[in-house]
Structure 1
Amino acid sequence: MVNFKKENKGSLLAVVILFFSVLFFSSCKNDVLPKPSSYLRLDYAEAKYANFENDCPFTFEMNADAVITGEKDCGFTITYPKMKATIYLTYKPVNNNINVLLKDAQKLTYEHVIKADDILEQPFLDATKKVYGMFYQVDGNAATNSQFYATDSIKHFITGSVYFYAKPNYDSIMPAASYVKNDMQRLMETLKWK
Structure 2
Amino acid sequence: MKHSLIAYLILTLFFFGCKEEVLPKPKAMLRLDYPKATYKEVNEDCDYAFEINELSTVKENKDCSLVLDYPMMKGSIFLTYKKVDGNIRELLIDAQKLTYEHVVKADGIAPKEYINTDAKVYGMFYEVSGNAASQSQFYVTDSTDHFVTGSLYFYAKPNFDSILPAAAYLQNDIRRIMETLRWKN
Aligning the two structures, in what range does the TM-score lie when normalised by the shorter sequence? 0.7 to 0.9
Mapped partners of 1:159, 1:32: distance in 2? 55
Matching residue's letter, 1:176: A
**2:106 matches 1:116:** yes
TM-score (norm 2): 0.88
**2:31 matches 1:37:** no
Residue matched to 1:105: 95
Deviation sequence 1:84-138 (CA, Å, 0-9, x none)? 0000000000000000000000000000011111110100000000000000000
Residue matched to 1:46: 36
Query: Is the radius of gyration larger for structure 1 or structure 2?
Result: 1
Mapped partners of 1:30, 1:83: distance in 2? 41
Mapped partners of 2:77, 2:180: distance in 1? 16
More divergent stretch after superposition (71-80 vs 34-43): 34-43
How far the C-alpha of 1:32 sits from its partner, in A, is 3.9
More divergent stretch after superposition (31-40 vs 128-137): 31-40
Residue matched to 1:179: 169
* CA RMSD, Structure 1 to Structure 2 (Å): 1.5
**2:113 matches 1:126:** no
Residue matched to 1:160: 150
1:10-159 aligned at under 5 Å gives the runs 31-159=21-149
Deviation sequence 1:138-160 (CA, Å, 0-9, x none)? 01110001010000001000000
What is the identity percentage for the equivalent residue pairs of Structure 1 and Structure 2?
A: 57
Matching residue's letter, 1:45: P
Mapped partners of 1:82, 1:129: distance in 2? 32
Matching residue's letter, 1:173: I
Unaligned runs of 5+ in 1: 1-22
Unaligned runs of 5+ in 2: 1-13
How far the C-alpha of 1:39 sits from its partner, in A, is 1.5
Matching residue's letter, 2:64: C
Mapped partners of 1:137, 1:34: distance in 2? 37
Give the SS at the match of 2:148: strand
Mapped partners of 1:67, 1:152: distance in 2? 26
Give the SS at the match of 2:93: helix
Deviating above 4 A after TM superposition, structure 1's stretches of 4 or more consecutive aligned residues are: none
Deviation sequence 1:20-56 (CA, Å, 0-9, x none)? xxx9xxx8x8644232121111110011011110210
**Count of residues in Structure 1 that have an aligned counterpart in Structure 2:** 169
Matching residue's letter, 1:42: L
Give the SS at the match of 1:150: strand
Deviation sequence 1:67-97 (CA, Å, 0-9, x none)? 1110000000001101100000000000000
Matching residue's letter, 2:96: Q
